[in-house]
Amino acid sequence: MISSSISAFFIGVSTAFFTIFAIHILCFRPNRTRFQTVLGYTMCVWAILNLKDLILTFPEMYTPSILNWVMIIDGWSAISYTVLLLETVMPQWFTWKRILYFSIPFCIFTAAYALVSCEAVIYAYAVFLWIYAWTIVIFGYSKVRKHIKYVHENYSNIENIDVSWLRPVFAFVITTQILWLITSLYGEFWLDILYYISCLASWLMVLRYSWNFQPIQTNAPTQSNPIPKQFPFADKLEKVMKEKKLYLRPDLTLDDLAQEIGTNRLYASNYLNQAKGITFYDYINQLRITEVSIPLMKEHSEYTLEHIAIQSGFKSISTFRRAFVKLTGENPSNYNKT
């Protein structure tokens, strides 16, 4: 009885959590992006799923037949994971038509269990979900790696477009899905509790890092374009950087730089990667720190780190700290004292 009450408590908290964020995102967030809309509807789906679980905490509801239907219904939540993940790394790829295509195998298993209510269908469904989940994880992780590389090669300010936060989310999601699968098959209350705690932790992480996330298209140029063996614009790039101090622009992009030196994004990217062995993001941050941040710290000890970061072209103190530590191996607050 105590275990049941504790389980009901966590389900109630989880239901309230998803409901509150769904209402806030969809009703009180002006000018929300498509990604934020997808996130809001994902919260709606999970609020409904948790409300269903809350109803199941009533006495005599934990029967084998009901638990099997719970597993069938909950399996559909994998589609919400898929849509949100791909909307993050492949914005606007998903359409209602594609969602229907992804729904076909779930429809087949649901219809199969409705017609033939046997355990064989449930175990086959569990195997399918396991394969489906790992396929999405592997595919998604590959896309995340490519997305991170693209962003670092094309943008100097990645504050709201970086998807590095998805890496730890993958670990939480995998753990949560394993717990869900075991709970669905065995129906233990303590597994329920662990599942909801893990679920809340993973979604808190998603909301924390994606709250102001701005998805970008990563249609990088293909290698079919000719790559010059030499880079005649190299001297001009260094001259432009020195004279115009482009690195002070917080939102400088690789396209902006390429236009300034009379080339295109592909050639500029190849020059930085091949000739200098550095990404555009790290190149700009390196200039900001060596040309502005460090001199200001040495000449004006009265300046705060926030002021130095802004003067150097950074949009936030957190980005400045990470870039400074990466370049110098030392925290800027300690460097400022030496």
Residue 212, pLDDT score: 86
- Backbone φ and ψ of 291, nearest 5°: -90, -25
- Confidence band of 335 (pLDDT split at 50, 70, 90): confident
More confident residue, 77 or 231: 77
- 294 alpha carbon, distance to own chain's centre: 32
What is the torsional sign of CA 35, 95, 137, 281?
A: negative
Cα–Cα distance measured from residue 229 to residue 59, given in angstroms and rounded to the nearest whole number: 74
Query: Which residue has better confidence, 70 or 108?
Result: 108
Q: Is residue 89 helix, strand or coil? A: helix
Q: Specify the DSSP class assigned to residue 222.
A: P
Which amino acid is present at 284?
I
Six-digit token string for 315: 């949009």
* Vertex 276 angle, CA 270 and 279, to 5°: 65
pLDDT at 28 over 70: yes
3-state class (DSSP) for residue 253: strand
Express as a percent the part of the chain with pLDDT over 70. 89
Quickly list DSSP for 21-72. Answer: HHHHHHHS-TT--HHHHHHHHHHHHHHHHHHHHHHTTSTT---HHHHHHHHH
Q: Quick one: average pLDDT of 323-331?
A: 89
Q: Tell me how far apart the alpha carbons of residues 81 and 39 are, in angstroms, rounded to a whole number.
A: 10
Q: Return the amino acid letter for 20.
A: I
pLDDT digits (tens, 9 = 90+) for 114-136: 999 888 999 999 899 889 988 88
Q: 280-298: per-residue pLDDT in tens?
A: 999 999 999 999 999 999 8
Judged against a pLDDT cut of 80, whether residue 78 lies above it is answered with yes
Residue 108 has pLDDT above 90, yes or no: yes
Average pLDDT over residues 130-155: 88
Closest among 300, 322, 161 to 311, alpha carbons compared: 300
pLDDT tens digits along 157-182: 888 888 888 888 777 777 777 776 67
**Higher pLDDT, residue 61 or 38:** 38
Helix 34-55 to helix 77-89 angle (10° resolution) is 160
Confidence of residue 226 (pLDDT cuts 50, 70, 90): very low
pLDDT of residue 59: 61
CA distance 155 to 257: 10
Does residue 236 have a pLDDT over 90? no
DSSP string across 131-180: HHHHHHHHHHHHHHHHHHHHHHHHBS--TTT--TTHHHHHHHHHHHHHHH
Average pLDDT over residues 219-233: 55
pLDDT of residue 225: 44
Checking if the pLDDT of 223 tops 60, the result is no
pLDDT of residue 185: 62
pLDDT above 90 coverage of the chain, percent: 29
Q: Which residues contact 318 (CB under 8 A, 6 or more apart)?
A: none
Query: What does the buried/exposed string (b/e) look like for 118-151 if buried means 16 or more CB atoms within 10 Å of the residue's CB?
Result: eeebbeebbebbeebbeebbeebeebbeebbebb
In the prediction, which pLDDT does 93 show? 87
User: What does the CA dihedral 171, 177, 179, 180 come to, rounded to 10 degrees?
Assistant: 160
* Ranges 80-89, 114-123, 192-201, 252-261: which has the least confidence: 192-201
Per-residue pLDDT at 336: 60
Q: pLDDT grade, residue 79 (50/70/90)?
A: very high
Tell me the average pLDDT across 311-322: 91
Q: What is the mean pLDDT of residues 211-223?
A: 69
What is the pLDDT confidence band of residue 42, given thresholds at 50, 70 and 90? very high
The SS3 of residue 205 is: helix
Mean pLDDT of the chain: 84
In the block, which residue shows the tokens 């359409």?
Answer: 95
CA distances from 23 to 20, 27, 143, 211 (A): 5, 5, 30, 14
CA distance 219 to 150: 9
Q: pLDDT tier at 112 (50, 70, 90 boundaries)?
A: very high
